[in-house]
Amino acid sequence: MFDLNTPIEKLTRVGPKFLARLKKLEIKSIKDLLWHFPARYDDFSKLLLISDINNAGEVVSIAGEVTDIEMARSWRRRMIIVNATVEDQSGSIRAVWFNQPYIADALKIGTNVSLSGKISMDKNGLYFSSPSYEKIFPLETGLTHTGRLVPVYPETEGITSKYLRFLIKPILLKMRGVPDPLPSEIIKKYNLPNLVKAINQIHFPKNLEQAESARKRFTLEELLLFQLRTLRDHRQLRMLKAPRINFDKKIISDFVKNLPFKLTDDQRVAAYEILQDLERPFPMNRLLNGDVGSGKTVVALISAFQTVSAGFQTVFMAPTEILAKQHFDSLCSTILTASRSLNADAKIKIGLLTGSEAKQFPTDEVVEEKISKKLLALKIAKGQIDIVIGTHAVIQKGIKFAKLGLVIIDEQHRFGVKQRMQLIKNQELVPHLLSMTATPIPRTLALTVYGDLDVSLIKEKPKGRQQIITKIIPHSKRSDALEFVEQQIRSGRQVFVICPQIETSKTEEPAQNKPISQTKLVWAEIKAVSDEYEKLSKKVFSHRRVAMLHGKMKPKDKNEIMKKFKDGHYDILVSTSVVEVGMDIPNAAVMMIESAERFGLAQLHQFRGRVGRGKHQSYCLLFTSSNDTRTTRNLKALEKTDSGFELAEADLKIRGPGEFTGTQQSGLPDFAMASLADIDLIKKTRLEARLLLKDDPALKRHPLLAARLAEMQRLVHFE
């Protein structure tokens, strides 16, 4: 007896070796196994009599008896060849396999076998070349590997689709009475298969329509759960009490007037939306989404200023120390100019708190700028610091606030109610939350995922920004491009080189959820940081100062390298995509991206945003060895536009949302992401989720759904 939670090692067909490999695919329980869905299907459904096989190149299936089988060695081609003859009532055909000697043992003369594969032709006529095969047993329930639509799964080394089919099929045959979390009304309304049927159909469909409708069912389920969670979080927030921070128009307009620049319209609208949220009695949960350089910080600062003026503290979290420091410096100087009109007593006090340092601004008579972390923590607890800037980690470690009103998060992935609670420990008021991201989320996506009210977009950039010149560099122009880079360094500029991976992998990467064909396509040509670093530092730019940066380095070393690059100690930084979003290095003027086709447009745009931050004309050079015209055409979009939002929409169309970077922030499950293009389905599930919660907010009538929700929430809290 087993159920969905039964660990996979309980299956007699899974030994220790395979167990470890399955774990690589995150398959640990029967449920994981059954929910490991095919990436595609091989269509072996064309069943023919042998005499009806007429054309080479066709993919067909036959069933017959092995009448002859032998193994031969081809010394010249260093191969073992198995030759077989299979006969049905209409005729016979040859089958040939290379380097699979065990087949000669598996298929003895007299065995009934089903073959599927491509027909080839040689001087002796038509034959099957390396076909899929399976023995036919009289009592077996249908074919598994041949003669039908055959599932092809995301694989990993040592785990083939054939093995997965061999594991999954018998379980499906025994599977009964697995309760379905989807309400039956919804299943009926959308004309979908129930759970057991859907699981069967997604693995072994009779036709592609069946597979499609099964897939739709699972997508709908995931989306529904996602929407239920979002709506519930929303409700939960509304039941909490937040500090009411009045929108003081006079204070704000004075502050804005004193800024060194005029706000753009989008900045104005965003600030207005936030300030209105802050007035409400329940906590705000707003996402501020704007391209790199669109000026999100000042909008956050306006909100912080209002919060502080109302007597509450603000905490501003950055993902890294460097960014925290950068924010501290720029906030101090903006506050200094913009709060000129404030009298001395009302001056805003800012603190910086990271793993390595604590600072305060302005300094007072007794203490200097640099103070001890303990002292700063004490001041925060006493309410003597108004705005605290720091890294996520530091602030989570038990810093107590006297009166926290607003939490601002720059480029963080997840920060839910629970994390907010951690910050307020013994207070009854839950602070407002403003999260900021520079990953442009297409409006269509944002609206459906977050709902209309909780997203503010900054689309336009402040006027007078320099255009970054973007060029796709074909292989033939590579040395010219490097010469250009050399000139840039000679005139004092710094250069980023981005590669998709740290080391060249000798073995193939696990295909994970990507169609296998895709991973194979470009695999051989992906550039790696370590190789490029070697090449650039020892050969091409051996006379220059080159540094390397990647995610496997210790955080301390990473910080060190980034800081040194920022301070001008290196000319070239070779890096994976870890280079911080929002890193401000005005002297960096060239962004070179290797194997550009491996990144999404939105992500490439992010990289591009790391240059062009100073007064120097900046360049983005996209290197690609792919000669796929579609790839080049897609990359061309970057040459044409510098709008992150346009690129994000394009990305959504080209790559589908599964590949869309930044969507993890929405917390959407991967599987649902794969069909996010189906905005319509998202809208429908949102509606269904509303209906379900309307008069049954605890989902009492749908305990299975409630359980899945609880399970999801548990997972989220582990992140």
Strands 59-74 and 112-122: antiparallel
Which of 492, 554, 503, 564 lies closest to 531 in space, CA to CA? 503
The option from ligand ADP, Mg ion, none interacting with 38 (CB < 5 to 8 A, set by class) reads none
290: partner contacted, choices Mg ion, ligand ADP, none (Cβ within 5-8 A by kind): ligand ADP
Subset of 565-584 contacting ligand ADP (CB under 6 A): 582
At residue 214, what is the residue type?
A
Given the complex with Mg ion, which of 500 and 582 has the nearer CB atom?
582
Residue 604: which of 530, 558, 662 has the closest Cα? 662
Beta bridge partners of 435: 287, 409
Q: Are 298 and 316 in contact (CB under 8 A)?
A: no
**What residue 575 binds from Mg ion, ligand ADP, none (CB within 5 to 8 A, per partner kind)?**
none
Q: Which residues contact 480 (CB under 8 A, 6 or more apart)?
A: none
The region of 68-76, 120-128, 292-300, 635-643 touching ligand ADP under the rule CB under 6 A is: 292-300
Tell me: does residue 644 bind Mg ion (CB under 5 A).
Answer: no
Residue nearest to ligand ADP (CB): 295
Q: Which is nearer to ligand ADP, 35 or 272 (CB)?
A: 272
Strands 350-353 vs 358-361: parallel, antiparallel or unpaired? antiparallel
Restricting to residues 495-524, name those near ligand ADP by CB under 6 A.
Answer: none
Taking CB under 5 A as the binding criterion, the range among 274-282, 399-407, 415-423, 579-587 that sits at the site for Mg ion is 579-587
Rounded to whole angstroms, how far apart are CA atoms 205 and 221? 19
Radius of gyration for the chain, computed over Cα atoms and rounded to the nearest angstrom: 30
Beta bridge partners of 72: 81
Select the span of 43-51, 255-263, 571-579, 683-691 touching ligand ADP (CB under 6 A): 255-263
Interface stretch with ligand ADP, choices 10-18, 241-249, 263-271, 498-506 (CB under 6 A):
263-271
296 near ligand ADP (CB under 6 A): yes
One residue of 116, 230, 264, 314 binding ligand ADP per CB under 6 A: 264
Q: Which helix (H) or strand (E) holds 397?
A: none
Confirm or reject binding of residue 292 to ligand ADP (CB under 6 A).
yes
Between 205 and 582, CB nearer to ligand ADP: 582
What residues form DSSP beta bridges with 389? 316, 352
Q: Looking at beta carbons only, is 188 or 262 nearer to ligand ADP?
A: 262
Quote the least distance from Cβ 465 to ligand ADP, whole Å.
8
| Residue 584, CB-side half-sphere exposure with 13 Å CA sphere | 14
Which residue, 154 or 290, is less far from ligand ADP as judged by CB?
290
Binding window for Mg ion (CB under 5 A); candidates: 3-11, 359-367, 576-584, 677-685: 576-584
Q: At what angle do helices 249-257 and 296-309 cross, to 10 degrees?
A: 140
Hey, is 414 helix, strand or coil? Answer: coil
- Which partner from the list Mg ion, ligand ADP, none does 472 bind, CB cut-off 5 to 8 Å by kind? none
294 binds, among Mg ion, ligand ADP, none (CB under 5 to 8 A by kind): ligand ADP
403: exposed, middle or buried (C-beta count within 10 Å: 0-12, 13-18, 19+)? middle
**Residue 575: helix, strand or coil by DSSP?**
strand
Single out the residue of 266, 328, 271 nearest to residue 294, CA to CA.
266
For residue 298, the partner it binds in Mg ion, ligand ADP, none, with Cβ less than 5 to 8 A by kind, is: ligand ADP
Q: Are 62 and 93 in contact (CB under 8 A)?
A: yes
Site string for ligand ADP, 677-706 (x = CB under 6 A): ------------------------------
Indicate the residue among 147 and 295 with the shorter CB distance to Mg ion: 295
Indicate the residue among 582 and 644 with the shorter CB distance to Mg ion. Answer: 582
* Nearest CB to ligand ADP, comparing residues 183 and 442: 442
The CB-of-295 to Mg ion minimum distance in angstroms stands at: 9
Kindly state the tokens that stand for 335: 């506050």
Identify which of residues 68 and 265 has a Cβ nearer to ligand ADP in the complex. Answer: 265
Burial 333-357 (b: 16+ CB within 10 A, else e): ebbeebbeebeeeeebbbbbbbeeb
399-438 positions binding ligand ADP, by CB under 6 A: 438
Which CB atom, from 87 or from 329, has the smaller least distance to ligand ADP? Answer: 329
Smallest gap from Cβ 415 to ligand ADP, in A, equals 17
Q: Does the footprint of ligand ADP cover residue 295 (CB under 6 A)?
A: yes
Q: Identify the bridge partners of residue 338 per DSSP, sorted by sequence position.
A: none
Q: How far is CA 425 from CA 268, 304, 380, 713, in A?
A: 34, 21, 14, 21
Dihedral (Cα; 421, 426, 432, 433), 10-degree rounding: -30
Distance CA 650, CA 655 (A): 8
Q: Which DSSP letter does residue 440 get?
A: P
Position 586 contacts ligand ADP (CB under 6 A): no
Q: Which range of residues in 202-210, 531-539, 580-588, 595-603 is near Mg ion by CB under 5 A?
A: 580-588
Residue with tokens 């129930």: 194
Residue 264 binding partner per list Mg ion, ligand ADP, none, with a CB distance cut-off of 5 to 8 Å that depends on partner kind: ligand ADP
Cβ-closest residue to Mg ion? Answer: 582
Tokens 């442009």 belong to residue: 440
Binding partner of residue 293 among Mg ion, ligand ADP, none, CB under 5 to 8 Å per kind? ligand ADP
How far apart are alpha carbons 228 and 709 in whole angstroms?
8
CB of 410 to ligand ADP, least distance (A): 7
3-state helix, strand, coil in the chain (%, to 5): 40, 20, 40
88-101 in b/e form (b: 16+ CB < 10 A) is eeeeebbbbbeeee
By beta-carbon proximity to ligand ADP, the closer residue of 338 and 511 is 338
Q: How far is the CB of 256 from ligand ADP (least distance, A)?
A: 10
Number of H-type helices and E-type strands within the chain: 25, 22
Q: Determine which residue in the list 91, 383, 451, 462 makes contact with ligand ADP, applying CB under 6 A.
A: 462
CB of 261 to ligand ADP, least distance (A): 3
Task: Name the binder of 237 from Mg ion, ligand ADP, none, CB < 5-8 A by kind.
Answer: none
294 touches ligand ADP (CB under 6 A): yes
The binder of Mg ion chosen from 183, 351, 582, 657 (CB under 5 A): 582
Which residue lies nearer to ligand ADP by CB, 53 or 350?
A: 350
456 interacts with ligand ADP by CB under 6 A: no
Helices (H), 410-450: 417-424, 443-450
d(CA 671, CA 221) in angstroms, rounded, equals 10
Kindly report the number of other CB atoms within 10 A of residue 77's CB atom. Answer: 9
- 389 binds ligand ADP, rule: CB under 6 A: no
Is residue 263 involved in binding ligand ADP (CB under 6 A)?
yes
Nearest approach in angstroms of CB 298 to Mg ion is: 10
Instruction: Catalog residues that contact ligand ADP under the rule CB under 6 A.
Output: 261-264, 267, 290, 292-298, 438, 462, 582
Instruction: Catalog residues that contact Mg ion under the rule CB under 5 A.
Output: 582
